[in-house]
Amino acid sequence: MPADLAPLYALIGIFRYDSGGKPANSCISASYQYARALHLLGFEAHLMVACATVLCREKGADTRITDVGLWDRLPEFRRSDQQYSGHIVLYSPSFTRLVDLTIAQDTALQRRITAEPSLGLPIVLSVSAGSDFNVIRPATFRGRYLIIYQLFANLLHTLTPFWEESEQITQMERASRDLASWALDVLRTVDRENPERWRQTAPHLRQLIDGVIELPEAAQMRAQTRPWETLIPPG
């Protein structure tokens, strides 16, 4: 694993440990917390509406297993049961990586995880900076399964009802800080033998590791207005 990706994967490892037993259909909260934790560590990250089409090579033919998310109509957030009919992933320009933390929550994939355990893992894909997200189709293999992403950079407005859930936003801000704090502990541990690591490429993280600055306190984060705006891609 390249050194510059260590913060990205440290957060993924912590997220997987902390998400055990959490309810399905949590792609919004999971991606939000992860992206905001990256922000707190000094990195850029944006949320994105997506649809992941999963194909399986069976008997020489590609069979469509499931679509995680929607590609043929607008997704909706329902206040009545707090469910989102689409799928949310995140993109970090700092690492040029697309991250899907919750694809394994799809019921069609869950039935196949025993035979193909890699389907249960988060997906991290390299996506070049400056890519046209409405055109590219990032893809990856998991065993005999092909996962193809269609991204909708202009559909984050479908999350507007969710942003109005102030209590949930407060809880997610607190969880984001916890994730960042735990990741910082991990990075300090692996960093002991290389005090110059990240000094040039991630100065904010370097200052956090060295104790020059600290993560904001929970009260400071609660005082922020519209924190989700930091997760909306520019333009």
List C-alpha distances in Å: 211 to 45, 140, 188, 216.
23, 39, 10, 13
Q: From the CB of residue 178, how many other CB atoms can be counted at a distance below 10 Å? A: 16
Quote the pLDDT of residue 79: 79
What is the 8-class DSSP label of residue 229? G
Quote the pLDDT of residue 21: 43
Q: From the CB of residue 222, how many other CB atoms can be counted at a distance below 10 Å? A: 13
What is the 8-class DSSP label of residue 103? G
Identify the burial level of 129 via C-beta atoms within 10 angstroms of its C-beta, where 0-12 means exposed, 13-18 middle and 19 or more buried.
exposed
Task: Give the contacts of 40 (CB within 8 A, at least 6 positions apart).
Answer: 176, 177, 180, 215, 216
- Residue closest to 90 by CA, chosen among 143, 1, 159: 159
> What is the spatial distance between Cα 119 and Cα 138, in angstroms, rounded to a whole number?
16
- Residue closest to 179 by CA, chosen among 101, 103, 87: 101
Quote the pLDDT of residue 30: 92
> What is the spatial distance between Cα 85 and Cα 78, in angstroms, rounded to a whole number?
8
When divided into structural domains, the chain yields a total of: 1
Supply 132's token pair. 């046209």
Measured in whole angstroms, how far is the alpha carbon of residue 111 from the centre of its chain? 23
What domain range is 62 assigned to? 1-235
Quote the pLDDT of residue 235: 66
> What is the spatial distance between Cα 165 and Cα 169, in angstroms, rounded to a whole number?
6
Return the H-helix or E-strand segment holding 145: strand 145-152
Quote the pLDDT of residue 223: 66
**pLDDT by position in tens, the chain (length 235):** 455 898 999 999 888 755 544 444 589 999 999 999 999 999 999 999 999 999 998 877 889 999 999 999 999 988 777 789 999 999 999 999 999 999 998 999 989 988 999 998 999 999 998 899 989 999 999 999 999 999 998 899 999 988 888 788 888 999 999 999 999 998 888 877 777 777 777 889 989 998 999 999 866 776 677 887 888 887 6
Residue 186 is part of a domain; what is its CATH number? Answer: 3.10.550
Task: Give the contacts of 147 (CB within 8 A, at least 6 positions apart).
Answer: 52, 53, 54, 55, 103, 123, 139, 140, 141
Quote the pLDDT of residue 18: 56
